[in-house]
């Protein structure tokens, strides 16, 4: 049985308390992780935005959207890395329609 790749998009919010270098390093880390396990189709950095509600006593966050294709099993690993990375307030991975 062949391993089919699917199209996904992920949005993650980084803490606004991080300096520009740390923020850029985290964005690069996630892009490289996705590229190593699939194909990055596009990266859209939305920048600092006001959060809809307070998260960990923060009212702003740095938003990043990445479109990618990968094997379905990789999304669990990506979610795990999001959860253990300091500076990530929230993350979401969605499978796109075929």
Beta-bridge partners for 67: 9, 42
Residue 45: inside a domain, yes or no? yes
Domain count, the chain: 1
- Does residue 77 lie within any of the structural domains? yes
Q: What is the pLDDT along the chain (98 residues), one digit of tens a residue?
A: 356 889 999 999 999 999 999 999 999 999 999 999 999 999 999 999 999 999 999 999 999 999 999 999 999 999 999 999 999 999 999 999 87
Note whether residue 30 is domain-resident: yes
Rounded CA separation 82/88 (Å): 7
Phi, psi of 6, rounded to the nearest 5 degrees: -125, 160
* pTM greater than 0.85: yes
Which of 1, 2, 40, 27 shows the shortest CA–CA distance to 85?
27
* Residue 25 maps to a domain: yes
Residue 29 lies in a domain: yes
Q: Which residue range(s) make up the domain with 68?
A: 6-95
Domain assignment of residue 1, yes or no: no
Tallying the residues shown for the chain, one arrives at 98
CATH of the domain at 85: 3.30.70.60
């Amino acid at each position: 049985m062949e391993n089919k790749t699917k199209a996904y998009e992920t949005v993650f919010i980084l803490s606004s308390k991080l300096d520009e270098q740390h923020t850029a390093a985290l964005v690069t880390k996630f892009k490289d992780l996705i590229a190593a396990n699939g194909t990055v189709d596009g990266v859209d950095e939305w920048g600092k935005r006001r959060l809809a509600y307070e998260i960990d006593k923060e009212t702003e966050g740095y938003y990043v959207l990445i479109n990618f294709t990968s094997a379905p099993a990789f999304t669990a690993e990506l979610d795990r890395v999001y959860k253990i990375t300091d500076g990530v307030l929230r993350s979401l991975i969605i499978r796109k329609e075929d």
